[in-house]
Structure 1
Amino acid sequence: MQKDAYTLILEAIEAGDYKPGSRLVESELAERLGVSRTPVREALQRLETQSMLTRDGRSLIVATLDHNQLAELYTVRTELEGLAARLAARHATDEEIRVLKSMVTEDRALLGGDPRALSRANKRFHKQIHLASHNRFLVQQLDLVHRSMALMANTSFAAEGRDEVAISEHDQIVQAIAARDGDAAYTALKAHISKAFETRLRVDAGELRLR
């Protein structure tokens, strides 16, 4: 199925092609996407309504999260992700658990490499847990949260030493889900998100360097 202009622009923001503060020009986007300006205009209006874009005079730019917004986002994400892990421990099929285990193994091969590749793998891993919760309303809310995560300029995986620790945390989460231990899965995933937030704050404060 062909993707619409909204999806293509959103994916470009999530991929880092358009970073926070980047100006989006309707005519340039239409040419890049190979579509007319009307669907691009509609997509930009939709993204502005969703607070993914903001106005700078007459121009639209990719929004930036301030410190308070970042804290609010991580507060919501921590609780929703923890709930997803708890439900996954209860409802995940054996096949879904095997996929999660294989993701951890495959992602270890990416350690020390491109932080953006690790970030993409991280998103796939978390999305798999969301789906394994088998709760469509929770998945929808987490999709909204993760869409807003695209407004952060850098991935926490770019911080020195974070990638290896994060993969180990993923392994602990999967082990808890496989053991059908909802409390342990909830605790492990909440701790994982909390550590990611702490890492991001330390990067912003200049305590940690990016690779």
Structure 2
Amino acid sequence: MQGADRNGDDDARDSEEAAPSLAEYVYQELSQWIREGRYNPGDRIREATVSKELGVSRTPVREALRRLQSERRVTIEPQRGAVVAELDRHEVVELYQLRQHLEGIAARFAAQHASPAEIAEMQDILKRSENASADLKVLNQINWEFHNALYSAAHNRFLLRSIAAISDEMALLKGTKYIPEDRPASLHREHQRILDAIIARDPDQADCAAQDHIENALRVHLRVGRSQ
């Protein structure tokens, strides 16, 4: 009877933990871990590890993984289980093409609407990037800060939603520990060109500079990918 009671308790706990709120919690945590690079494309996500770390049973973990699978951010592979999805070359190009246009729109709007304080924030970020080393983590952080400042300066909530919608897919771009020697300097120049156009209140030039920047980022990504 005691064993039956324990099984009943376990079933009740699983039923409670499978509630949408808990499954949603696990889903959000896993999504954030993928965005942050804690789980990279090709990495295995172990149910037991996630369950232990988040203090839940495996039931909501499975539900969260199924949801990520339906969004094509996770694949379920035989003998391996859940694995963070990897984009093929065609998908990478498609994703960058979409981002290219969204960045252009963001820069265009920023040239029209950025406040003096927002421009000053972007200037401060670029000053720090002048002395940035080729440390990939530092460069990624500066790049992230600049683009987020750009999005905020665009003052368009619908644009922000569109950019947020592709952020999860951007996290599926295979990372690298290598960066071309000339990339830190070219990255700074590209950001400076965008900011100069914003300061000049030139939407067309800002749009063009931002699109060129993302096109160059795609070239670098594909070149680095071939060399690995």
Aligned residue type for 1:164 = A
Selected match of 1:86 from 91, 96, 108 = 108
Q: CA deviation at 1:137?
A: 1.3
8 A contact 1:156–1:200 mirrored in 2: no
Contact 1:156/1:199, CA 8 A, preserved across alignment: no
CA deviations on 1:76-120 (whole Å, 9 max, x unpaired) are 01011101100111111111111111111123333222x023112
- Corresponding residue to 2:170 among 106, 130, 149: 149
- Residues 1:98 and 2:115 are matched in the alignment: no
| 1:157–1:90 Cα change, 3 Å | farther
1 CA distance for matches of 2:59 and 2:119?
44
AA of the residue aligned to 2:125: M
Give the match for residue 56 of structure 1. Answer: 77
Per the alignment, in what secondary structure is the counterpart of residue 82 of structure 2?
Answer: strand
Task: Pick the aligned partner of 2:204 from 166, 173, 183.
Answer: 183
User: Unmatched 5+ residue regions in structure 1?
Assistant: none
Paired with 1:121 and 1:6, the residues of 2 have a C-alpha distance of 28
What residue in structure 1 maps to residue 38 of structure 2? 17
| Aligned mate of 1:137, from 145, 158, 161 | 158
Q: 5 Å matches for 1:36-47?
A: 36-47=57-68
SS of the residue 2:76 aligns to: strand
Q: CA RMSD in A?
A: 2.2
- Answer with 65-74 or 89-98: which moved more: 89-98
* Whole-Å separation in 2 of the counterparts to 1:38 and 1:51: 20
Alpha-carbon displacement from aligned partner over 1:138-189 (angstroms, at most 9, x marks no partner) = 1111112222111112259723321221012111111111111101110101
Which has the higher Rg, Structure 1 or Structure 2? Answer: 2
Name the TM-score, length of structure 2 as normaliser: 0.81
Separation in structure 2 between the aligned mates of residue 10 and residue 124 of structure 1, nearest angstrom: 20
Structure 1 residues 90, 204: CA separation in 2 closer, same or farther (over 3 Å shift)? same
CA distance in 2, matches of 1:157, 1:129: 26
In structure 2, the partner of 1:28 is: 49
Three-state SS of the structure 1 residue aligned to 2:134 is coil
Cα pair distance change 1:8/1:167, threshold 3 Å = farther
More helix by share: 2
Consecutive aligned runs of 4 or more in structure 1 exceeding 6 Å deviation: none
Q: 1:108 aligns with which of 125, 130, 155?
A: 130
* Residues 58-91 of structure 1: CA deviation (Å, up to 9, x unaligned): 7211000001001100110101110110011111
3-state DSSP of counterpart to 1:60? strand
Q: Alignment identity in percent?
A: 37
Summarize the Cα distance change of 1:86–1:42 in structure 2 as closer, same or farther, 3 Å threshold. same
Q: CA 1:86 to 1:157, structure 2 compared with 1: closer, same or farther past 3 Å? A: farther
Q: What letter is aligned with 1:165?
A: S
Q: Secondary structure at the match of 1:205?
A: helix
